[in-house]
């Protein structure tokens, strides 16, 4: 079996060649995934899927049984898909990881023209149900062509057309002809939003472009470093999801070093680099002056965030209840965590892409407030959460949480007492899994809280 470790290493290699996109996620002779230890105690041994999340092959299988079973249950037998797809792409492009470096890329197109932007704009999905999101994604058919990500000339016509789609500021009229009728499955991945039916593409053409001049300027500047291009677009208000699409299509960085980047990798690369840039300024600021707690429920997930009046550090704690997709056979909740001190981190987070999505959301708020804080994010995944929808859910949910007016407290004790009443898993269990809370409580009894 071929390991996926090289996939991750390739991301960072590509990123480094594209001018520090991988900064903060350093690798040496091997992928940071190799440094994720398998669970030790008996409860975690039954929940190895939580550490893997179908991307690291910790179980040794080529494909994730849980993902395949879930995908099979989402087949839409009523869907009518023909060889010719005629509609307005949101705009949407896809760059795959399977078989990297020889990967599948292509446009994603629905069978209609009106109001298609929402189909691939996660920033607009807060408040939508799982069924609505799945229907959005199933409406898009992916036409694919296999190319070599490192050897393909980015100026070849097929790639250029996809770059024009990624550069557009509005839906684009598109006609796609497939070589065969695709199956009706939804494809799931814990890092990115689901996508619908796919089949090899025979021909496609697009019209009615309206280019976003901000992205066009970054694309045309072949001397601009990738990270600078990303931050320029972000500071001008271009949405994260649109920056990620353009980055995946190799549209930023020094001209000769530009490469296609798989969609799932581009999501984390963009979120990581924006949050790192924001942190450079945040760490110069004064701390907040009290303890603030924010809570938000979305898609069977409960997010609770505590900001403390201390220098920057961050911990993300994820608790997967029995019956959730990655803890489907367990009998107890399993909590995993990842942490960074003020100095930052130099390895890929065990929690995966959700860590960088959450970090981006909180750094946006702190940068806006011109303050810094110590941050703990509690994420409780309820048993009804059966389908991985992508890390956009974490980013947008934490964004929504910290836009709300917080509950404010004068002490860490009172803030945690409040959190203990909000979360369904009690505080002592979170402390067992937490670096930050263990440091705080080493001189106190858990019963005091």
Number of helical H runs and strand E runs in the chain: 15, 12
Residue 185 confidence (pLDDT): 79
Q: What is the band of 136 on the pLDDT scale with cuts at 50, 70, 90?
A: very high
Q: What is the band of 208 on the pLDDT scale with cuts at 50, 70, 90?
A: confident
> Of the ranges 152-161, 226-235, 374-383, which one carries the lowest mean pLDDT score?
152-161
More confident residue, 63 or 324: 324
Mean pLDDT score of the chain: 85
pLDDT in tens, 346-361: 899 989 999 999 999 9
Q: What mean pLDDT comes out for the span 151-166?
A: 90
Contact 29, 35 (CB under 8 A): no
Decide: residue 73, CB within 10 A, 0-12 exposed, 13-18 middle, 19+ buried.
exposed
Q: What is the band of 283 on the pLDDT scale with cuts at 50, 70, 90?
A: very high
Judged against a pLDDT cut of 50, whether residue 247 lies above it is answered with yes
**Beta strands at 291-298 and 301-308: parallel, antiparallel or unpaired:** antiparallel
Q: What mean pLDDT comes out for the span 280-288?
A: 98
Q: What mean pLDDT comes out for the span 271-294?
A: 98
pTM here is: 0.86
ω into residue 285 within 30 of 0, thus cis?
no
Say which DSSP state 56 is in. Answer: S
Please report, for residues 134, 171, 365, the alpha-carbon distance to residue 390 in angstroms, rounded to integers and kept in the order given: 12, 23, 22
The 10 Å CB-count burial string (b at 16+, else e) for 358-386 is: bbbbbbbbbbeeebbbbbbbbbbbbeebe
Please report, for residues 101, 199, 200, 201, 260, the alpha-carbon distance to residue 104 in angstroms, rounded to integers and kept in the order given: 10, 10, 9, 10, 11
Residue 14 confidence (pLDDT): 30
pLDDT in tens, 4-23: 333 323 332 333 333 333 33
Judged against a pLDDT cut of 90, whether residue 132 lies above it is answered with yes
More confident residue, 331 or 236: 236
> Of the ranges 273-277, 315-319, 441-445, which one carries the lowest mean pLDDT score?
441-445
């Amino acid at each position: 079996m071929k390991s996926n470790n090289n996939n991750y290493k390739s991301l960072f290699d590509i990123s480094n060649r594209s001018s520090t996109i991988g900064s903060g996620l350093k690798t040496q002779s091997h992928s940071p995934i190799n440094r994720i230890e398998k669970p030790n105690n008996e409860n975690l041994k039954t929940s190895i899927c939580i550490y893997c999340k179908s991307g690291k092959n910790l179980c040794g299988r080529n494909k994730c049984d849980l993902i395949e079973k879930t995908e099979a249950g989402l087949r839409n037998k009523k869907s009518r898909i023909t060889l010719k797809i005629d509609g307005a792409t949101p705009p949407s492009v896809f760059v795959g990881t399977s078989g990297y470096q020889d990967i599948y890329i292509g446009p994603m197109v629905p069978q209609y023209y009106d109001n298609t932007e929402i189909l691939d704009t996660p920033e607009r999905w807060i408040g939508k149900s799982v069924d609505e999101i799945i229907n959005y994604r199933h409406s898009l058919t992916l036409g694919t062509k296999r190319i070599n990500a490192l050897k393909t000339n980015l100026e070849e016509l097929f790639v250029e057309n996809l770059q024009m789609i990624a550069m557009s500021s509005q839906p684009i009229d598109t006609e796609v002809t497939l070589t065969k009728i695709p199956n009706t499955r939804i494809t799931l991945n814990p890092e990115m939003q689901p996508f619908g039916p796919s089949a090899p593409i025979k021909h496609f053409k697009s019209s009615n472009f309206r280019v976003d001049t901000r992205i066009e300027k970054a694309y045309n500047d072949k001397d601009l470093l990738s990270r600078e291009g990303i931050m320029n677009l972000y500071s001008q208000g271009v949405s994260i999801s649109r920056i990620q699409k353009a980055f995946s299509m190799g549209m930023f960085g020094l001209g000769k070093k530009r490469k296609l980047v798989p969609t799932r990798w581009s999501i984390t690369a963009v979120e990581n680099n924006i949050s790192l840039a924001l942190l450079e300024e945040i760490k110069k600021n004064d701390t907040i002056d009290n303890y603030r707690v924010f809570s938000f429920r979305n898609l069977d997930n409960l997010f609770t965030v505590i900001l403390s009046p201390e220098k920057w550090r961050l911990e993300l704690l994820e608790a997967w209840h029995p019956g959730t997709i990655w803890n489907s056979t367990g009998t107890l909740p399993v909590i995993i965590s990842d942490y960074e001190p003020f100095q930052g981190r130099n390895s890929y987070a065990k929690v995966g892409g959700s860590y960088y999505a959450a970090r981006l959301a909180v750094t946006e708020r702190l940068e806006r407030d011109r303050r810094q804080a110590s941050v703990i994010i509690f994420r409780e995944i309820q048993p009804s959460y059966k389908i991985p929808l992508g890390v956009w859910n974490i980013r947008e949910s934490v964004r929504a949480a910290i836009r709300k007016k917080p509950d404010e407290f004068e002490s860490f004790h009172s803030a945690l007492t409040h959190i203990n009443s909000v979360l369904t898993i009690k505080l002592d269990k979170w402390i067992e899994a937490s670096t930050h809370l263990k440091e705080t409580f080493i001189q106190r009894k858990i019963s005091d809280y």
